[in-house]
Amino acid sequence: MPNTSNYDSLFTSNRGYQAILQLRPYDEEVVEFVMDELKSRGNVFITKVVELKKNMGIDLYLTSQNFAKTLSNMLKRRFNGEIKITRTLYSVSKENTKKIYRLTVLFRLNKTNLLS
């Protein structure tokens, strides 16, 4: 994880998350790109960070599904990786019985990118 003192304003613990951004494997340049994009957005926050063992990857829990989708496309263009987007039923609204989903976005760097 990069130096978080530059990104303190991005973290919050009093909001729920709507999307999980999974970055595989861990790459400092990709994480810094994500953090910079989050900082420039201003209205999207990280509620939780889970780092996997042995630099296998990192999970960022975000407060916006739309931004997670947008960010995945930006990552794919910039770093030429794979994207996989799934959604999981989280709840059903009691007011209008609308289904509420949480999004999981997996960004996997290609192995050729890792060697360079």
Within a domain: 54: yes
Question: Which strand ranges, in their side-by-side order, compose the sheet holding 19-24?
Answer: 46-51, 58-62, 19-24, 99-108, 82-92
Within a domain: 25: yes
pLDDT for position 79: 94
Which tens digit of pLDDT belongs to each residue from 46-85? 999 999 988 899 999 999 999 999 999 999 999 999 999 9
Within a domain: 45: yes
pLDDT for position 98: 93
Within a domain: 6: no
Within a domain: 42: yes
Within a domain: 5: no
Contact present, 101 and 88 (Cβ < 8 Å): yes
pLDDT for position 8: 62
Strand partners, 21: 60, 105
- Give the chain's domain count: 1
pTM attached to this predicted model: 0.85
Contact present, 87 and 41 (Cβ < 8 Å): no
Within a domain: 7: no
| Domain interval for residue 67 | 12-109
pLDDT for position 102: 95
pLDDT for position 88: 96
